[in-house]
Amino acid sequence: MSQYFENDTTIKDEPFIFHFSIQNKEYKLQSNNGVFSKDKLDTGTKILLECVLKEEKEVQRVLDLGCGIGPVGLVMAHHFDCDLTMIDINERAVELARQNMASFQSRCTIKCQDGLKQEDGFFDCILLNPPIRTGKKVVYSLFDQCIEHLKGNFYVVMRKQHGAQSAMKYLEEKGCCVERMYRDKGFWVLKIYWQ
């Protein structure tokens, strides 16, 4: 079975549009088969966004890691005048993210790559809904990359049953301050920052 973090060229092309709402603002996304949460805004991402929008008042440089088709980037661009970077490994998702952001955000860089590179620089706000199905080794590698590129706040959403508590411990062992900002429907939103 194909996964959203793989590039499977045999997946049938069936483009469509879906709508979602955050803080009484309506958004629409072009979507397709072979991408994460292809027909709705997934619960974890919605919880993550709602928490970040309450917490952050102003951000300059934002990273949406594992951007998929772009819901996080779209919402962040609407709420903040920011320099936005969106990264995903899935080629189809990245192309859809480009289409979804094309008419909206001029200061937006969208990259198809596996994680962060040194040249991506530093960010004062990083958002990640980690690809749990890739396994703990990959997820923790993404954590490491994010904290190496962090100069502000890094937000992660995870289900408690998928290891949110052990993720907190891991990030604390890396020397980060970690706060559980929010709990809802089994999801935790963690805020990670340097002292």
The CATH number given to whatever domain includes residue 175 is 3.40.50.150
Task: Evaluate whether residue 186 is within a structural domain.
Answer: yes
Residue 181 near residue 190, CB atoms below 8 Å: yes
Can you give the pLDDT at residue 1? 36
Task: Write out pLDDT tens, residues 60-93.
Answer: 999 999 999 999 999 999 999 999 999 999 999 9
Residues 6+ apart with CB under 8 A from 179: 190, 191
The total number of structural domains in the chain stands at 1
Which pLDDT belongs to residue 146? 98
Residues of the chain under the 50 pLDDT cut: 1-2
Eight-class DSSP state of 120: G
Q: Decide if 91 is inside a domain.
A: yes
In the prediction, which pLDDT does 7 show? 62
CA-nearest of 84, 82, 83 to 70 is 84
Residue 3 lies in a domain: no
Q: What is the pLDDT of residue 5?
A: 57
Residue 119 is predicted with a pLDDT of 96
SS3 content of the chain, % helix, strand, coil (to 5): 35, 30, 35
Residue 67: both structure tokens together:
């951007």
Q: Is residue 8 part of a domain?
A: no
The predicted structure's pLDDT at residue 25? 94
Locate tokens 């994460």: which residue?
A: 36
pLDDT attached to residue 2: 43
pLDDT of residue 107: 80
Q: Determine, yes or no, domain membership for 170.
A: yes
**154 found inside a domain:** yes
The answer to the question of residue 139 being in a domain is: yes
Q: Which domain holds residue 93?
A: 42-193
Residue 23 counted as domain residue:
no
